[in-house]
Amino acid sequence: MNEQRDNVWRGVAIITGASSGIGEAIVKKLASNAEGIVIAARRIDRLTLLAKSLGDNVIPVQCDVQNKAEVEHAVQTTLDRFGRVDTLINNAGIAPMSSMLRGRVEDWENTIDTNIKGVLYGIAAVLPHMLKQKTGRIINISSEAGRRVFPGSAVYCASKHAVRVISEGLQIDLSARSQKDGNDIKVSTILPGYVLTDLPESVTFEPARNEFKKNMQNVEGPLQGNDIADCIQFILNAPDHVEIGEMTVRPTKQVM
Ligand code: NDP
């Protein structure tokens, strides 16, 4: 048994999409042991309330992940306040699903700009610092939709496939580099099944939103945000030499 298993992560993290659902649950899980957490999302009022309830080490930053400069600002805030960035959790995401036949191009653009480009902007902003530090953790939230394609959600599924593939590609590039410079930067991807959150509210086409809600409610024992936060904690607490690449987690009774 590895004694480091009992280690508790006490670093500095940035968490995107922290104003609700999974992101909020992650913040609540990590805050008490973290040296510092910068929580980022568009709804600054919700972030401010959350930060106030948790303590001075939690810093709210308004940030639209579609905007590269705002993502860079969130990272700079972390460096200014805490002097380093140990962990990035790319969690912000939307799911404006509908049949492709409806041609909702604006939804497609928003999905790609948030779920793919937002993740890339986060990686681009933290990576130079992690490479300099020779250490870091990047955790990307993909989805079951990152492995499979469901009806009426082609672009969402494509975006989550992209997140999974980007994570894997980053991990490959980093491990090649770590052979040269000894860095221990690790990349992990979580692929959740149904988690009871506000995600259906991001569906702009009403019939699709109602169907998403119904499907979510029909799952017996859906996951809660806290279940994904537990996965994050497990990943962060792993010893330095252990990299958890992918973690699929779904409700036990979700019919696949
Ligand atoms: P929520 O809708 O509860 O949370 C989404 C979060 O993303 C919010 O905090 C929202 O904050 C933020 N967000 C959305 N767009 C942007 C943006 N442009 N810039 C910054 N933040 C943004 O849903 P979940 O908690 O369920 O979603 C979190 C992640 O989990 C997503 O990536 C989702 O795809 C993924 N996931 C969810 C599953 C589920 O069943 N719930 C299953 C599999 C994966 P704000 O509006 O304040 O900006």
Residue of the CA atom closest to atom 6 of ligand 1: 17
Q: What is the DSSP string of 77-90?
A: HHHHHHS---EEEE
- Identify the pLDDT of residue 178: 87
Residue 211 in any domain: the answer is yes
Residue of the CA atom closest to atom 21 of ligand 1: 41
Of the candidates 146, 118, 127, 231, the one whose C-alpha atom is nearest the C-alpha of residue 185 is 127
- Domain coverage including residue 14: 7-249
Residue 256 in any domain: the answer is no
Q: Which of 14, 15, 16, 19 to mutate to test the pocket of ligand 1 (most atoms within 8 A of CB)?
A: 19
Residue 27 in any domain: the answer is yes
204-226: buried (b, 16+ CB within 10 Å) or exposed (e) per residue?
A: ebeebbebbeeeeeebeebbbbe
In angstroms, the CA 228 to CA 251 distance is 11
Q: What is the DSSP string of 14-68?
A: EEESTTSHHHHHHHHHHTTT-SEEEEEES-HHHHHHHHHHH-TTEEEEE--TT-H
Residues with CB under 6 A from ligand 1: 16-23, 41-43, 63-66, 91-95, 114, 141, 143, 192, 194-195, 197-199, 202
Please answer whether residues 202 and 115 qualify as being in contact, where contact means their C-beta atoms are separated by less than 8 angstroms: no
User: pLDDT tens digits, the chain, 256 residues: what are they?
Assistant: 334 445 799 999 999 999 999 999 999 999 999 999 999 999 999 999 999 999 999 999 999 999 999 999 999 999 999 999 999 999 999 999 999 999 999 999 999 999 999 999 999 999 999 999 999 999 999 999 999 999 999 999 999 999 999 999 999 999 988 888 889 999 999 999 999 999 999 999 999 999 999 999 899 999 999 999 999 999 999 998 999 999 999 999 987 7
- Identify the pLDDT of residue 90: 98
Find the CATH number of the domain harbouring 44: 3.40.50.720
The answer to whether 156 is a known catalytic residue is yes
- Identify the pLDDT of residue 2: 36
From the candidates 9, 108, 121, 156, which is the catalytic residue?
A: 156
Residue 43 in any domain: the answer is yes
Residue 223 in any domain: the answer is yes
Only one residue has tokens 């019919």, namely 255
Number of domains in the chain: 1
- Identify the pLDDT of residue 197: 97
Quick one: how far is CA 221 from the chain centroid?
A: 22
Residue 254 in any domain: the answer is no
Only one residue has tokens 């609700």, namely 20
Residue 2 in any domain: the answer is no
Could you tell me the pTM of the whole model? 0.97
Residue 30 in any domain: the answer is yes
| CA 92 to ligand 1 centroid distance, Å | 4
| CA 251 to ligand 1 centroid distance, Å | 18
- Identify the pLDDT of residue 239: 93
Please list, in sequence order, all residues whose beta carbon lies within 8 angstroms of the beta carbon of residue 152, skipping any fewer than 6 positions away: 97, 98, 99, 208, 211
- Identify the pLDDT of residue 179: 86
